[in-house]
Amino acid sequence: MNKIGIDVTDEYKSNANPGNGSLIRESGYVDSFHKEEIDMAEWLIKELGGDVTLIKEANGAYGVSRPDYIWQDHYWELKSVDSALRKAVRQIHDRPGGVILDFGKSRINVTGVESKIKT
């Protein structure tokens, strides 16, 4: 079954334990480079619970991309909606959990978003 465009928020909320969990940083993680990722990790813990591990950069290794988080034993990537979304999907391919889409305060057209992420 193709799950593109399906809102799984209710599924995650039904299994949530809001406010319970820890923010864990991989050794060498640099907070100053990742404000948005840290803010979203804190939101995940507050709203859904669970431990969130912040994954450090690949330290300049050419061609090596790493996801932003490990949450619920899966890789997660934070991206705003643009062509970078395709990269996010590739980054979590080995242990897919999902991609967090941060729309900020902008208005979105769901049909337009779906067309960007269909492969």
Cα distance between the two ends of the chain: 14
pTM summary value? 0.66
- Residue 45 banded pLDDT, cuts 50, 70, 90: very high
Average pLDDT, the chain: 82
Q: What integer pLDDT is reported at residue 74 of this predicted model? A: 93
Supply the range of the domain harboring residue 23.
Answer: 9-117
- Reference 22, options 71, 77, 85; nearest CA is 71
Complete DSSP assignment for 62-73: TT----SEEETT
Report, as an integer, the average pLDDT of 41-70: 88
Q: What integer pLDDT is reported at residue 1 of this predicted model? A: 42
Residue 4 is assigned to a structural domain of this protein: no
Residue 30 is assigned to a structural domain of this protein: yes
- Residue 9 banded pLDDT, cuts 50, 70, 90: confident
pLDDT tens digits, 66-107: 899 999 999 998 876 666 677 888 888 898 888 887 766 666
Residue 25 is assigned to a structural domain of this protein: yes
**DSSP 8-state secondary structure symbol assigned to residue 76:** E
Residue 118 and residue 4 in contact, taking contact as beta carbons nearer than 8 Å: yes
Asked whether the predicted pLDDT for residue 65 surpasses 60, the reply is yes
Residue 24 is assigned to a structural domain of this protein: yes
Residue 68 is assigned to a structural domain of this protein: yes
Asked whether the predicted pLDDT for residue 61 surpasses 70, the reply is no
The three-state secondary structure class of 77 is strand
Residues in the chain: 119
Number of domains in the chain: 1
